[in-house]
A and B are shown apart, each in its own frame.
Chain A
Amino acid sequence: METDELLLNMGPVHPATHGVLRFKLRMDGEIIRDCEIVMGYLHRGTEKLGEMKTYLQFIPYTDRLDYLSAMPNNYAYVKAVEELADIEVPLRAEYIRVLTLELNRIINHLVFMGSLILDLGANTAIMWGFREREKALQLYEMLCGARMTFSYMRIGGVREDLPEGFIPKLNDFIKDMEKRIVDYEQLINGNEIFLLRMKNIGVINADEAINYGMTGPSLRGSGVNYDIRKLEPYSIYPDIDFKACVRKECDSYARYLVRMDEMKESLHILRQVADTMPAGDIITTQKYGIAPMTGAPSAVMTYFPRIFTPPVGEVYTRTEAPKGELGFYVVSDGTTKPYRVKIRSPSFCNLVALPKMIVGLKIPDLIAAFGTIDIVLGDVDR
C-alpha cells in the first residue's frame, strides 16, 4: 500500500528528551525513516565565557556543562590546566578527587537508570534512584556544601579537606548501596516488558560506534574494551584495582547493563580509596602555591593564588567522565585568562550516532535508545 510520509516534530519541550532537544522525524506510519536532531536550545556560550574569565573563575562554569556529574567536569578542566602549567598534585588531593569522581559516577548512573525507566513508563526506579542519590548528595554536602554544582576542584588540589566523620558515613553509604543495586537488578533486569523494549533495540556495532565518535559506557556496550582510566591512566587509577565493564550485545540493554556494572565497580573503587586514604596536603605548595604559615595546619593555610599565569602553550586532556570521553583543549597565551577553551563533550559526540541507531524503528524505540545513550543537554549545547 502506498503511504505518505509524515513529518513529526518532537521537542524542544518534551518530557522524554531530557531537557531541550528537538527531533525532526520523517515517519512512514509508525516507522522512523529519517531523524534530524536540532539542538542549541541550551547553548550558553561557555567557551566564549572561558576566554573572558580567569583560569580559576572558569571552574564554576564547568559544573554547569554536565550538571549531573559536575565533579568529573571540574576535574577534566583542572587536569588540563595542571598539565599545561606542569603542576604536581599532592597524593591526598588525588585520593579525594578520585573519591568524588567515583561517587559522582554512581549519582550519574542512578539518575540514568531512573530516567530511562521513567521514559519507558514505570515510576518505581526513579523513586529508588533519587532516594540513593539524596544519600550520596548528603556526602557531597558534608564535603563542599553544594548539592549539584560543586566547584570543589582547584588547580593543584581540592578546595577543602574531608570533614570529620566523612569516611564512616561513606562506608555506610557503600554498604547500603551494595544492597540497593541488588534490589535494582531484581526489579529491572528480569522484567519482561523492559527486556522487550531494550533487547535488539538501537543496535550499533563496534566499528560504527567508533566511527560515529561514541565513547564511554555507550561504546563499551558495543563491545569495545576501552576505558581512558585504563588506557591513559591518570590520577591514582593505576594503583587501584578495577575493571572496564564491557558488553558484547551492542544494543540498548547492553548499554544499560554496562552502567549498572559500573556502579558496582565504582563502589569497589570507593572502598579501596576510603581504606587507603593517605595523610598530607590537599593543595599543591610547589611552584605557584604559597608555603604554609608556620604553626598553622598546612591543609588550611596553603592555597593556590587566585590569579595565576601558566606558560604559553596548548594542551588536550581526556578523562573518563560518566558519560564518556570528556576533553578540554586549553590554549594559554601567557596571560591570566585562557586564550581558548574547547570542550569535547561526551554527550555531543554520542548523540551523533542516534539517527543511525533508530532509523527503521518505532517512536517508542527512539525513546528507549535515546535514554540509554544518556545525554545531558547542558553538555550537548554547552
Chain B
Amino acid sequence: MDSVTIDTTKIKPAKKKPETALEKLNDTGLINTLLAAREREGMILFSTVDQFINWGRFSSLWPVTSGLACCAIEMMAVTMAHHDLARFGMEAFRASPRQADLMFVAGTVTKRMAPRVKQLYEMMAEPKWVISIGSCANTGGPYIESYSVLKGVDNIIPVDVYVPGCPPRPEAWLYGIIQLREKIKSQGYGAKWGLNK
C-alpha cells in the first residue's frame, strides 16, 4: 500500500471551543454586530441577517409538548431541575403546536398515532425542526417486528437530528439539542447561496 502523506498546512485548525463569555458571544456572530454598532456610535447595525436571525432562532427554541412513550419521561427529566433544559432557552414547552417550532418525537410512533404525529407537525408554523428521540422513533427499535409500529418516524415527517438510545440519557438529549443548534446556525439564505462562508 502506498503511504499517504498528509499536508498538515492544508488542514484547517480545529475551531477553538468558546470558553469565556466574550468568546461565546463572538461565536454567535453577534459580536461583529455589536462592535460595528459601537464604532458607529450605535447608529448602524452591521451584520449578516442570517447570523442575527439564526441567533434568535436557536436561542429560544420552543418545543411542543407531545410525549408519546417511554422517552417522554426522560423529556420530563431533562426539563426538571437536575438537567435543566432552561439553560438552552427552551423550557417553554407549548401545549399548542401553533406556538412551537421544535418537535421532540419522543417514543414509539404506532400506526394509529402516525397520522396524528404528521398532523401535529403540519400544524406547526415555519420554521420548524424535529428531533427524533430514541430507537423506536428512529427506526422502530425493539418493536420493529411488531404489526402496529411504524418503522421510523422519518417515514412520515422530515427529521433533523436523531438521538439513539432506549431511552436516551438526558445527556444524550442535551447533545442532540446542541447538534440542532449547530445546524440552525448554518441555516439561512446566505448559506443556501454560498455567500455566508
Contacts and interface: CB of A to CB of B under 8 A. Distances in A.
Judge A-B direct contact (beta carbons within 8 Å): yes
A127 B77 CA distance: 9
B166 A13 contact: no
A44 B148 contact: yes
Given A48-B146, A67-B73, 18 more contacts: A15-B95, A20-B68, A41-B110, A42-B68, A42-B108, A44-B110, A45-B143, A60-B142, A64-B70, A111-B73, A111-B76, A115-B76, A130-B81, A134-B77, A134-B80, A134-B82, A149-B70, A378-B70
Interface in A4-28: 12-15, 19-20
A44 B81 CA distance: 32
A334 interface: no
Contacts, number: 92
Interface string A105-117: 0000001000100
A378 B80 contact: no
B172 to A, nearest CB: 11
A44 B108 contact: yes
Given A12-B113, A61-B142, A377-B69, A133 B149 contact: no
Contact of A130 (B69, B80, B108, B143): B80
Given A41-B113, A131-B82, A134-B77, A49 B146 contact: yes
Interface residues of A, number: 34
Interface in B54-95: 65-70, 72-74, 76-77, 80-82, 93, 95
B110 A49 contact: no
A199 to B, nearest CB: 27
A152 to B, nearest CB: 15
A176 to B, nearest CB: 14
A137 B110 CA distance: 28
Contacts of B112: 40-41, 43
A148 interface: yes
22 contacts: A13-B120, A19-B69, A20-B116, A43-B148, A44-B108, A44-B143, A44-B148, A44-B149, A45-B146, A48-B146, A49-B145, A52-B145, A67-B70, A68-B73, A115-B76, A130-B76, A130-B77, A130-B80, A131-B80, A133-B77, A134-B80, A149-B166
Contact of B69 (A40, A67, A134): A67
B149 to A, nearest CB: 6
Contacts of A45: 143, 146-149
A111 B74 CA distance: 11
Contact of A44 (B67, B146, B166): B146
Contacts of B67: 19
Contacts of A148: 70, 73-74, 167
B169 interface: yes
Given A20-B68, A44-B149, A68-B73, A12 B116 contact: yes
A147 interface: yes
Contacts of B108: 42, 44
Interface in A103-157: 111, 115, 126-127, 130-131, 133-134, 147-149
Interface residues of B, number: 33
Contacts of B148: 43-45
Nearest to B123: A13
Contacts of B80: 126-127, 130-131, 134
Given A127-B81, A147-B169, A41 B149 contact: no
A43 B143 CA distance: 11
Contacts of B69: 19, 42, 64, 67, 377-378
Interface string B37-67: 0000000000000000000000000000111
A316 to B, nearest CB: 24
Contacts of B107: 42
Nearest to B66: A13
Contact of B142 (A15, A41, A64): A64
Contacts of A115: 76
B79 to A, nearest CB: 8
A98 B125 CA distance: 49
B110 A42 contact: yes
A72 to B, nearest CB: 15
A49 B169 contact: no
The 8 closest A-B pairs by CB, nearest first: A130-B80, A67-B70, A45-B146, A134-B82, A41-B113, A15-B65, A45-B148, A44-B143
Contacts of A40: 110, 112
B167 A149 contact: yes
B31 to A, nearest CB: 35
Interface string A52-84: 100000001100100110000000000000000
A207 B128 CA distance: 51
A52 B144 CA distance: 12
Nearest to B170: A147
A127 B142 CA distance: 31
Contacts of A126: 76, 80
